[in-house]
Chain A
Amino acid sequence: MNIKKVTIATAKHLFLALFLCLLVAILCAAQRLRQ
């Protein structure tokens, strides 16, 4: 396994996790603003 490839793949999955967190935060913020 090329270590560079593994690093890039890990970074991409971390970014995906961040993105999902952002989406959840958006939902929570919208709910909070509405009340």
Chain B
Amino acid sequence: MKLPESLFSRMLLAYLPFMVYPYGFFRAGVAALWIVAFLWVTVAFFWFTRRLFPSRSLKPAFFLWLIVWAQAIWTLTKLPPYWIASVYFLAPVSFLEDAAKPSQARVFSKEVPRFQHPSIGAERSLGPSQPPFWEKVKKLGRYFFERVLAGISFAGFVMLLALIREIGEKRLGIHAFEQPVGMWLVIAAVAFLWKNQPYRRRG
């Protein structure tokens, strides 16, 4: 299965397990924060250690990492066992293979550090010169800034939907909000608005 690259689709996928959790606003928020924190740890860990793995075992290592942490945090924090699915869907699909295709790992922009190309001895001296240090830092900062922003927007999205569910169920007494169907309705509305954003002129 090919997972979608765009942030909003991945956020929707990551939200799916939340539909069946019997959580109120507060507990949904806490679960979302756990998920986002773990996503950041994972992305940072694999960004820095990616090239230290044998290239064939990087993906199995990534899945093992997810499975082990799913088990560990499940036993420790009593999160529902599906919490790791949200992390998996939130993680940018191709961030493990970006040495091969650097332009594909993106959240909002196409920019990804290109200096991570594995270059071998002689080619390094022949090829174009390395970008200056400050440029590297700026690009790296941008890369992580996008991941941080993705995490924050997921947490905000979950809390917003939990709030809507709370209001719809408790205050307005709409029975549909007790079931996933109410959340589907809200998500459909959100997706409609997202797709039909008003045209904005540049400049």
Give complex CA distance A12, B61 in Å.
13
User: Which of A9, A12, A19, A34 is B76 in contact with, Cβ under 8 Å?
Assistant: A34
Give complex CA distance A15, B65 in Å.
14
Chain A residues close to B by CB (< 8 Å): 9, 11-13, 15-16, 19-20, 23, 26-27, 29-31, 33-34
A26 neighbours in B (Cβ, 8 Å) = 68-69, 72
A-B Cβ contacts below 8 A, count: 36
Task: Identify whether the interface residues of B are mostly helix, strand, loop, or mixed.
Answer: helix
Please tell me if B128 contacts chain A, counting CB pairs below 8 Å.
Answer: no
> Do A20 and B64 contact each other (CB < 8 Å), given the known contacts A12-B54, A13-B54, A27-B71?
yes
Check B72–A12 contact: CB distance below 8 A.
no
Check B57–A29 contact: CB distance below 8 A.
no
Please tell me if B23 contacts chain A, counting CB pairs below 8 Å.
Answer: no
Give complex CA distance A34, B52 in Å.
32
Please tell me if B26 contacts chain A, counting CB pairs below 8 Å.
Answer: no
* Chain A proximity mask over B50-89: 1 for CB below 8 Å, otherwise 0: 0011100100010011001101110110000000000000
Nearest CB in chain A to that of B74: its residue: A30
> Do A31 and B75 contact each other (CB < 8 Å), given the known contacts A20-B64, A23-B65?
yes
